Amino acid sequence: ILNVEQSPQSLHVQEGDSTNFTCSFPSSNFYALHWYRWETAKSPEALFVMTLNGDEKKKGRISATLNTKEGYSYLYIKGSQPEDSATYLCAFGTGANNLFFGTGTRLTVIP
Amino acid sequence: GAGVSQSPSNKVTEKGKDVELRCDPISGHTALYWYRQRLGQGLEFLIYFQGNSAPDKSGLPSDRFSAERTGESVSTLTIQRTQQEDSAVYLCASSWGGLALNNEQFFGPGTRLTVL
């Protein structure tokens, strides 16, 4: 089992604040890094699939960076809104049929 | 279009009973995955189906767990003689192709299993 760690475990931010959190993963056997957003009572939703060192992806106010050599990815949310409240999961892929998930960062945006 | 659906959404069972969980993937998706999330832990891979190939069962935690999929359609995950440590949210996901192609997975809403 590969160790994928996410930090912080949870955080609360005020509406309008920008925030970021971290996913750490093994720097060897890297194939892809996936980010998901999981709102309560809904299905996890894919945000990004990142494959190249130095990759930056953006979707609206959410963006992510990837450093495969040191084994980390950052997810940024600019101008947080209450609807951004969710658990953000990252998952590490080796090119095999499964992903290794972190335990997630639970974000609460306070109106 | 319809997403991935799972049933039941909640299941409470007594220790020792068998349970069957169902997943309906997105039509046309050849790959189907089962995961579970136990309290305080990350999503844990259980099993992977790709078309008519032999499934990758490497994540199944014990021989009490089994899964079937007919072609590229419905899948069922069966847990025999349930134990309290089987309590978890069981998630199903499907994709156009396998993860080796970096395809996006589409998840269902999950089945919350509670074993008393």
CB A45 within 8 A of CB A36: yes
Residue B45 to residue B26: CA distance in whole angstroms: 19
Does residue B1 have a pLDDT over 70? no
- From the list A41, A8, A23, A5, the residue with the least C-alpha distance to B89 is A41
Residue B40 to residue B114: CA distance in whole angstroms: 15
Q: In this complex, which of B40, B42, B99 lies closest to A101 when CB atoms are compared?
A: B42
CA A50 remoteness from chain centre:
11
Give the tens place of pLDDT for each residue, A8-51.
999 999 999 999 999 999 988 889 999 999 998 899 999 999 99
The token pair that represents B66 in the structure block: 């089994």
The confidence score (pLDDT) of residue B101 equals 64
The confidence score (pLDDT) of residue B20 equals 98
Contacts of A8 (CB under 8 A, 6+ apart): A21, A105
Q: What is the mean pLDDT of residues B18-45?
A: 93
Question: Chain B residues within 8 A (CB-CB) of chain A?
Answer: 3-4, 33, 35, 40-45, 48, 50, 56, 58-59, 91, 93, 98-100, 102, 104-110
Q: In this complex, which of A34, A43, A100 lies closest to B3 when CB atoms are compared?
A: A43
- From the list B35, B31, B9, B8, the residue with the least C-alpha distance to B91 is B35
Name chain B contacts of A97, Cβ cutoff 8 Å.
33, 48, 50, 56, 98-100
Residue A76 to residue A70: CA distance in whole angstroms: 18
A9: left (phi over 0), alpha (psi -120 to 50) or beta: alpha
Name chain B contacts of A47, Cβ cutoff 8 Å.
none
The confidence score (pLDDT) of residue B53 equals 87
Give the tens place of pLDDT for each residue, B90-110.
999 999 877 666 778 899 999
